[in-house]
Amino acid sequence: MPESPRSAAEQPFLLGVISDTHGLLRPEALTALAPAQHILHAGDVGNIEILEALSAIAPVTAIRGNVDIHGPCAELPETEIVEVDGRLFYLVHSIRDLDVSPTAMGIAAVISGHSHNPSIETRNNVLYLNPGSAGPRRFQLPVTVALITITPTTLDPRIIPIL
C-alpha cells in the first residue's frame, strides 16, 4: 500500500501567515515564522526583499495590498487561491473586497490583512483569519503574525504577538 504524505504519527502541517509588513520585516517575525512549512503574505508587502527573506524559511504565496503600487510588489496578484496540505486558502488584502463564496468554492480559510487588527473567526465552517500587522505599529494595535496548525481534520489558528 502506498504511504500517505503524512507520517504514521500524523504530524501536523504548520502554516505561517503574515500581512502588512509595509517594507519592514522584523527579526521577531522571522523567528515566529521559522517553524512554518509554507507562508502566506496577505498584502502590503512594501518591498520584494521581504518575500525573498521569508522564502528562505519556506515557500511563500503572496498578494499585493493597497501600498504595493510600484515595483515588483505591484506585480503580485490581487487575490490568490492556494492549496496547502490538501486545503484551499483564499488570500484577499481587505476582507471588504471578498468577491467569492468561500463555502461554494470549498475554501477552508480566507486570509486577509489591511485593518492591522488581528482576528480569528469561523463562519459557515470557513476560517477567517487576519494575522494583524507585522510591520510598523499602527495606533495602539499589536504587532503580530499567525500560525495555523493543519491536521487531517482541523485548522487550529493562533495569533502570535511579536513585539
pLDDT at 139: 85
Predicted confidence (pLDDT) per residue in 19-44, tens digit: 999 999 999 999 999 999 999 999 99
The answer to whether residues 95 and 128 touch, using CB atoms and an 8 Å cutoff, is yes
pTM score = 0.94
Query: What structural domains does the chain harbor?
Result: 13-151 (3.60.21.10)
For residue 142, give the DSSP letter. Answer: P
Predicted confidence (pLDDT) per residue in 1-11, tens digit: 343 454 445 78
pLDDT at 8: 40
Predicted confidence (pLDDT) per residue in 99-124, tens digit: 999 999 999 999 999 999 999 999 99
- Helix or strand or coil: residue 53? helix
What values do phi and psi take at 102, rounded to 5? Answer: -55, -40
The answer to whether residues 118 and 159 touch, using CB atoms and an 8 Å cutoff, is yes
Quick one: cell of 14?
A: 504548520
Sheet containing strand 119-123, edge to edge, reads 79-84, 87-92, 109-111, 126-130, 119-123
For residue 83, give the DSSP letter. Answer: E
Place of cell 480559510: 109
